[in-house]
Structure 1
Amino acid sequence: MANTSQPVRRTAMLAGAVALLGLVGACGSESSTSSAPQPTKAPRTTHADTGAATRTPTAPAVTTAPGDTAGPASASARTDGRCHTSELRAAVGRVDPGAGQRNFPIVLTNTSDRTCTLYGYPGAAFVDASGAQLGPDPERAPASPVTVTLTPGKSAWAGLSFSSPQISGARTATPAALLVTPPDEHDPLKVRWSAGEVPVGGGESSVSVTALEAGTGP
């Protein structure tokens, strides 16, 4: 037993070496196939012809030179919009009596060089020489107002009516003027009143005004 032959021992040693080499090879193969994944880089967009990187274009800033104006908008502003007090002239037409009533047309004429519009009722107030109002504000007669377009020189009118004081028995006064205020305006136009006394209080003293319409009267 102690004298084992050299060939047998050499054979055993070779077998062990072969087994060890096989184990090492298997470990090396497993390590190479399970390596950690590499981080992915974002793709770079390039021009097809030069390969240069593409950048998103930035819109140029828009600048306006001092003094530039919007021509069409300015023209529109001049041809549209209501008539202002400074662009109108007021007048009171001749009395039109009828059935115990006294009726007067209040006429507004466009004196400007542009076209403008009127819509609704004018304001009206009788005043004395000192400018104090005589009687209450006129009542608005029921109506369906329409927009009246006034080219330069054209007119619109509204009716001012009240019961004849000789018939109604109302308390009266003789105004020095009639103040007429265009619709949606604050400044009145002053018209000299020469048609005599008007009712300012008591029974049947109300004064009424109609909505504006095109023309200078009935």
Structure 2
Amino acid sequence: MRRLVAFGVLAVALAACGSPQQAADQSSLAVEPSSESAPAPPSSAPVTSAQVTATAAPASGRCTAAVLAAAVESTGAGAGNRYGKLVVTNNGAGPCTVNGYSGLQLLDSAGNPVPTDLRRTSDPGPAPVVLAPGTAAAANLHWTVVPTGDEPVDRPCQEEAVRAAAIPPDETEPMSLRWGLGPVCAGGKIEISAFYAA
């Protein structure tokens, strides 16, 4: 018997990190019984088409800190600016989805917070990224090494972070990663984009 199935796409919402939620789509599909699989109705009975509602296919769950490995990579420098990427890789056994912005807190060697002022940028903005096992997503980072305000100019403007804690979208448990990209001036201001397929 021939079947037509409509799959819905589920976009995973970002609540912990403040991204707009997106709803799952469901669609309906009219299917007529095949003459090969069902006898013809009696001549006195009207012939009607069967209405079949296709349920949304189970989507991958959110990527959590338990299945993600995180790292930061330097991607460029110039005129006091620094650029990098926060890269997360799915180390789980099945697919998972990231959608939106990561949280990020710089830390010293003892795990204490180093000034961090995370600012979201809209290029690219939030969109669901499904990560198969072993695949990665990235978020762009930008910061300055030029002292601002009352920051010192004869030594590092801020304490240099040793590690960082990054929280996946819609989650509360952080991933731990090595920073190693130098001090972040302007009070620890870091611009971050939403995740996109790496």
Give the TM-score category using the shorter length.
0.5 to 0.7
Q: Determine which structure has the larger helix proportion and give its number.
A: 1
Q: 1:213 matched to which residue of 2?
A: 196
Output one character per residue of 1:18-69: Cα deviation in whole Å (capped at 9) or x when no partner: xxxxxxxxxxxxxxxxxxxxxxxxxxxxxxxxxxxxxxxxxxxxxxxxxxxx
User: Do the aligned residues in 2 keep the contact of 1:121 with 1:183 (CA within 8 Å)?
Assistant: yes
Give, in angstroms, the shift of residue 200 of structure 1: 6.0
Which residue of 164, 174, 179 corresponds with 2:145?
Answer: 164
- The one-letter code matched in structure 1 to 2:168 is P
Q: 1:194 matched to which residue of 2?
A: 180
Q: TM-score, normalised by structure 1?
A: 0.57
1:152 aligns with 2:133: yes
- The one-letter code matched in structure 2 to 1:190 is S
For the structure 1 residues 104 and 169, does the alpha-carbon distance in structure 2 shift closer, same or farther, using more than 3 Å as the test? farther
Q: 2:111 matched to which residue of 1?
A: 131
Number of paired residues?
A: 137
- The one-letter code matched in structure 2 to 1:162 is W
Give, in angstroms, the shift of residue 169 of structure 1: 7.7
Give, in angstroms, the shift of residue 100 of structure 1: 3.0
C-alpha separation in 1, matches of 2:147 and 2:128: 37
- The one-letter code matched in structure 2 to 1:177 is R
Give, in angstroms, the shift of residue 142 of structure 1: 2.6
Q: What's the Cα RMSD here?
A: 2.4
Give, in angstroms, the shift of residue 113 of structure 1: 1.0
User: Do the aligned residues in 1 keep the contact of 2:160 with 2:183 (CA within 8 Å)?
Assistant: yes
Structure with higher Rg: it is: 1
- The one-letter code matched in structure 2 to 1:160 is L
User: Do the aligned residues in 2 keep the contact of 1:105 with 1:158 (CA within 8 Å)?
Assistant: yes
Q: Secondary structure at the match of 1:134?
A: coil
Q: 1:115 matched to which residue of 2?
A: 95
Q: Determine which structure has the larger strand proportion and give its number.
A: 2
C-alpha separation in 1, matches of 2:143 and 2:86: 14
Q: Secondary structure at the match of 1:165?
A: coil
Output one character per residue of 1:119-141: Cα deviation in whole Å (capped at 9) or x when no partner: 00011110112222111331111
Alignment of 1:80-95 (within 5 A): 80-95=60-75
Structure with the greater relative contact order (CA < 8 A, sep ≥ 6): 1 or 2?
Answer: 2
User: Do the aligned residues in 1 keep the contact of 2:118 with 2:189 (CA within 8 Å)?
Assistant: yes
C-alpha separation in 2, matches of 1:157 and 1:130: 27
Q: 1:175 matched to which residue of 2?
A: 161
Identical counterparts, % of pairs: 32
Query: Please, which runs of 5 or more residues in structure 2 have no aligned partner?
Result: 1-56, 152-156
C-alpha separation in 1, matches of 2:117 and 2:70: 18
- The one-letter code matched in structure 2 to 1:172 is Q
